[in-house]
Amino acid sequence: MGSDPGDRKPSPTAGQDQPKLNPGDAGPPGTPGIGENVCRVCNGSGKVGGAECPTCGGTGKVLVEIGGA
């Protein structure tokens, strides 16, 4: 009748609801100072040598820092 640690369900991991970021992304969408741009590695095609672009994850877009002085 006691609380057995083996009976506990795993708690949700923090950040599970966060969108997947690709290696070329500077931050998550909606972050101030972050904007969408065409991936420079695949020129927006999402493919490099017939395979998925490793920088944009095949989307053809990356999230980059904008602005600044």
Q: How far is CA 6 from the centre of its chain?
A: 33
Mean pLDDT on 55-68: 92
Amino acid letter at 65?
A: E
Angle at 11 between CA 9 and CA 15, to 5 degrees: 155
- Global pTM reads 0.67
39-56 per-position pLDDT tens digit: 999 999 999 999 999 999
Q: Please provide residue 32's backbone torsions phi and psi, each rounded to the nearest 5 degrees.
A: -55, 135
Rg value, the chain, Cα: 19
